[in-house]
Structure 1
Amino acid sequence: MELQLAIDLITTEEAIELVKEVEPYIDVVEIGTPVVINEGLSSVNKMKTAFPNLKVLADLKIMDAGGYEVMKAAEAGADIVTVLGATDDETIKGALEEAKKNGKQLLVDMINVKDFEQRAKEIDQLGVDYICVHTGYDRQAVGENAFGQLETIKRVVKNAKTAIAGGIKKDTLAEVVKLNPDHVIVGGGITGESDKAAVAADMHKLITQNV
């Protein structure tokens, strides 16, 4: 089980300083969509240069031109790139082909997918690396979480690794860990805490105890 730190609402330089605090406790650092929008893929390159031993995920949420966008993320140093499960199979196939060509991984984000179980089965057959359940900020604000969807993909996904994102905190992590995802993505549950290193260390301990 891996721990991914999602960074969304700060600059790349601030993000690098933050990651220095928690580097021993995380496996992947995510350059979130807002950072890419604000600063471009150079943010991915700067993070990978600063932390060559960490995997860097570029959260592009690709909806079209999958091959091209994965190519550009790979050139910037991304190890993992995200594509939306709500897009069509051709976009996912193009993204996956380019990822494999460059020795990268593809994570399919299932945010707002309607026929969730059926779509998860379809995407699993395409050969992607990760399928991720994700409750976005706006749905978190009305009290939703992705725990039920995680149970679903753990049941129906046979090939891809499983991941979960959206509103996970230290006090809810144990519930997530019981469902045994391969990949746990935490944003504000670490970045919003005053002692980020201590919280990340506690989360890392809980995850590694359950591997």
Structure 2
Amino acid sequence: MELQLALDLVNIPEAKELVKEVKDHINVVEIGTPVVINEGLRAVKEIKEAFPNLTVLADLKIMDAGAYEVMKASEAGADIITVLGATDDSTIKGAVEEAKKQGTKILVDMINVKDLEQRSKEVDDLGVDYICVHTGYDLQAAGESPFEQLRTIKRVVKHAKTAVAGGIKLNTLPEVVDAQPDLVIVGGGITGQDDKKAVAAKMQELIKQKSFA
């Protein structure tokens, strides 16, 4: 089980400062969609150059032109690139083929997928590396959480690793790690805290305890 830090509401200098603070306690750093919109793939490139030992995920939420966008993100230094599960199979297949050529990985984000169980099975058969349940900001505000969805995909996914995102904080992390995802994605649960380093360290400790339990 690994810990991913999601960076959404920062520019490149702020992102570097934040990652520097918590780098010893995270495994993956995500350049979130808002950062890519504001800063472009340069954000991916600069973070990978500054922190070569961390896995860098580019949250492009690809919906079309899978192969081309994966190629561009890979060239910028991304190790993992996101594609939306709501897209068609041909886009996912193109992304997977290009990722294999580039030596990168594909994470499929199941945000807003209506039939999670069925689509997870289909996506799992397309050769993706991760399938992620994701409760978006707007649904979090309405009180939803991703825990039940995580149990659903854990039940049906046979090949890909599983990931979970959406409002995870230190106090809800035990419930998440009990479900044994491979990747736990945390944004504001770290970035919104006063002592980011301490919170990230506690989260990593909880994850390690569960991984070896």
Check if 1:147 corresponds to 2:117. Answer: no
The CA distance in 2 between the partners of 1:12 and 1:93, in whole Å, is 31
User: Partners in 1 of 2:183 and 2:18 — Cα distance?
Assistant: 21
Structure 2 equivalent of residue 100 of structure 1: 100
Pair 1:121-2:129 in alignment: no
Matched residue type, 2:64 = D
Percent identical residues: 74
Tell me how many residue pairs correspond in the alignment: 211
Structure 2 partner of 1:22: 22
Matched, 1:173 2:169: no
Q: CA RMSD in A?
A: 0.3
TM-score w.r.t. length of structure 2: 0.99
SS at match of 1:189: helix
| Alignment gaps of 5+ in structure 1 | none
Equivalent residue number for residue 61 of structure 2: 61
Q: Deviation above 3 Å: which 4+ runs of structure 1?
A: none
Residue 7 in structure 1 maps to residue 10 in structure 2 = no
User: Residue 121 of structure 1 aligns to which amino acid in structure 2?
Assistant: K
Shift of 1:123: 0.4
CA distance in 2, matches of 1:198, 1:115: 38
The 1-side partners of 2:11 and 2:34 are apart by 10
Unaligned runs of 5+ in 2: none
**Cα distance in 2 between the residues matched to 1:154 and 1:188:** 25
Amino acid at match of 1:63: M
Aligned pairs (5 A) from 1:26-105: 26-105=26-105
* TM-score computed with the length of structure 1 as normaliser: 1.00
What SS does structure 1 have at the residue aligned with 2:52?
A: coil
Question: For the residues of structure 2 that align with 1:21 and 1:177, how far apart are their CA atoms?
Answer: 24
**1:135-170 CA deviation, whole Å, 9 max, x = no partner?**
000000000011111000000000000000000000
Shift of 1:115: 1.1
| Counterpart residue identity of residue 78, structure 1 | A
Alpha-carbon distance in 1 for matches of 2:70, 2:115: 26
- Alpha-carbon offset, residue 130 of structure 1: 0.1
Distance (whole Å) between structure 2 residues aligned to residue 51 and residue 116 of structure 1: 35
Give the Å deviation of 1:86: 0.1
